[in-house]
Amino acid sequence: MLRNSANHVEHQGGVSIIKLTRHGWYSFAGRIGIGLCLVLLAGTIQAESPSTVHVGTFSRATEGGPYPDSWKPLTFHKIDEHTEYSLVEDDGIVVLKAVSRGSSSGLTREVTIDPKLYPIVEWRWKIENVLQKGDVTTKEGDDYPARLYITFAYDESKIDFLDQARYELARLLHGQYPPTGAINYIWESRSPIGTLVPNPYTDRVKMIVLESGEAKAGQWVVESRNLHEDYQKAFGDDPPMISGVAVMTDTDNTQESAVAYYGDIVFRKE
């Protein structure tokens, strides 16, 4: 995604945090771009029960049909090759399939969730292969067969004075504030599981390695994370409201290929 993050969102007129990642959180002088300011979409998610918030209900969708729950594609200016996302059936359950061939794009959904009330995020994913050139520590290797982005809403109290001016500029240019920051859960090529590092383009996005290597390739892996605790470890503070969720399979930096599958995404109370 070396080129992705420096450019404008192709739709909705918003600022993409997925794009801000690559060239710095605020390269607004000609290169407005998360790694994670998700495109704002219509609607606010409400809890479906006292204990859960269902964000990605892919299993309730129809194979080959439209994306569920206001999920929208996110494409990048000057990136001609887009990752292909489709709803397919796997073991009798509809899931989201991503195919990337030297390409990049994502799927996003705006949400409004209090991480203090719903700190647990759960999902499952499966990959067919890792990337030989993938490397979470370098810009050139910042591609992954599977990743889950979670963005956090703008909170002036968590932004220093200089950054507040940049956030205000973003609001004036695009009509909305960028997120305060983002957590990026990834399936990496070789870094140890548990690695927590800043994104190579901006420290406003923190990368957490949940799976690494090919040992589990071809298998569904269920993930459960305490997002509230992960934010505290990553940023040293309590998180603001969750503002968006995205999935992304991208290989445009490494020019490799990857196939991944994503199951339902759920937030839960402890």
User: What pLDDT does residue 78 have?
Assistant: 75
Environment class of residue 10 by beta-carbon count within 10 Å: exposed (0-12), middle (13-18) or buried (19+)?
A: middle
Q: Which of 44-53, 145-154, 229-238 has the highest mean pLDDT?
A: 229-238
User: What pLDDT does residue 43 have?
Assistant: 40
Give the pTM. Answer: 0.81
Helix (H, G, I), strand (E, B) or coil at 265: strand
User: What pLDDT does residue 223 have?
Assistant: 98
Mean pLDDT of 7-30: 36
Q: Which helix (H) or strand (E) holds 42?
A: none
Write down the H helix ranges in 5-160: 17-20
- If you ran DSSP here, which 8-state letter would residue 72 be given? E
Helix (H, G, I), strand (E, B) or coil at 2: coil
Mean pLDDT of 244-263: 96
Tokens 């929208």 sit at which residue? 72
